[in-house]
Chains A and B, each alone.
Chain A
Amino acid sequence: MTDCDICKLIESKDAFKVIYEDDICLAILHESPSVSGHCLVIPKKHSTIIEETDDEVVEHIFVVANKVSSAIFDTLGAHGTNIVLNNGADAGQELPHVVVNVIPRKENDPLNLEWQPKQASQEELKTTSSMMKVYAEHIYSGKDKLPEVKIKKEEPAAEKEEGKKEDDYLVKGLKRMP
């Protein structure tokens, strides 16, 4: 945890241009902003990616990100804001600590955050959807927790659940075949 540069900076707060602080997070001004007024909301407790961040912390940092966004509307004359979380190095995350970007937007500003939309066929969408649904129920129910795995003595089935689900899915898939 102490290896994280952001954690170190959080300890020596003077390093940041802080605009808001509470027990859970800091909101700061980015010192190498995409545009002037670019803010970051940073949870104090270390987590590298959002999947590791406690649920309550996730809820809180985005409520604060919305407040930062409102403050940007109110004081910097922005006509829009973007809230961006790049999760994982391949998504453009630069430091191993969860950081939420809040970015003021104006007409004709130099930023381009638009992507090239692709055309997905109904078939593709269906396939993607069924791949996701294998995990969806389990994960959306909140049962799927990353850090602490509770070991229940009665049934070692708990850890196999995923495998089982996959099996179920495959079985269903097989059944569908003529």
Chain B
Amino acid sequence: MDNLSNMSPEEILELQKKNCIFCKIIAKEIPAQEIYSDDKVSVILDINPANQGHCLIMPKQHYQILPQIPDDLIGYLFLMAKRTSRVLLKALHAQGTTVFVANGAVAGQKAPHFMIHVIPRKRSDMLFQLPKNSINAEELEQIRQKLAARMAALTGRKPHAVEMQAKPEEKTAEAEPVKEDSEEPDSKSEEDSEKESSGKQDNKKKDDGPIDLDKITDLFG
């Protein structure tokens, strides 16, 4: 542990790669049933499948989670997922497939190497279902505004329909946790409000705030 804290991020990444079982599979140091491979991806059979034919699609380069991967490689990986799905339908007569990605340990990610699961499905295999819940319209609209603003910032496009549906104050493209801030009286001195906001940030980190990608990948320990 002490050693880890003295290492640079590059060194840590190097260490992770060295210990990554999937990097070893890709390098053929550990045997696996490989269905397909090219210079960018490797498709293998999961040795602990959810159903027979459960495939893993992995980038050959070591990435932990999807947001770290460049767009063109993301596109390519999922194109290979489409093709894997087709192979499963034809070769194993699957009745459907599930394409599944877990980003982060809380989402069920088991290994620190990004992978797409393509799982052949059979009627009533009861693998898993996405439950449905009701949500009130106000909460939905609040979430929509936050996500729409963030999507605009991430993609460089105009926030979708924010002008039409949002309250007048919502004009910024970078709408972070706007709500509480805008409720604060303007009369406070700068110092006060600065304190206020830094305190808030600390709070956020503890409970509900945005978490950095490093932290998510750190959850693997």
The chain A residues found within 8 Å of chain B, CB to CB, are: 17-22, 27, 29, 31-37, 39, 50-51, 53, 55, 58-60, 62-63, 66-93, 101, 103, 105-107, 109-120, 124-126, 128-129, 131-136, 139-140, 142, 144, 146
Q: Can you name 10 A-B pairs with beta carbons within 8 Å?
A: A19-B151, A58-B78, A59-B76, A80-B107, A82-B102, A91-B121, A118-B48, A120-B45, A144-B83, A146-B86
- Can you list, as one digit per residue, whether each of B81-103 has a CB less than 8 Å from chain A (1) or not (0)? 11101111111100111111111
Main secondary structure of the interface of B (DSSP, over half): mixed
The chain B residues found within 8 Å of chain A, CB to CB, are: 33-36, 38, 43, 45-53, 66-67, 69, 71, 74-83, 85-92, 95-109, 119, 121-124, 127-135, 139-141, 143-144, 146-152, 154-155, 157, 160-161, 176, 204, 207-211, 213, 216, 219
Which B residues are CB-close (under 8 A) to A92?
Answer: 96, 98, 121, 128-130
The answer to whether A58 touches B96, judged by C-beta atoms less than 8 angstroms apart, is no
Which A residues are CB-close (under 8 A) to B51?
Answer: 118
- Given A36-B143, A37-B143, A132-B92, is A70 in contact with B154 using a C-beta cutoff of 8 Å? yes
With A and B bound together, what is the CA distance between A19 and B119 in angstroms? 29
Picked from A69, A77, A89, A110, the residue with its CB within 8 Å of the CB of B103 is A69
With A and B bound together, what is the CA distance between A84 and B89 in angstroms? 18
With A and B bound together, what is the CA distance between A17 and B216 in angstroms? 28
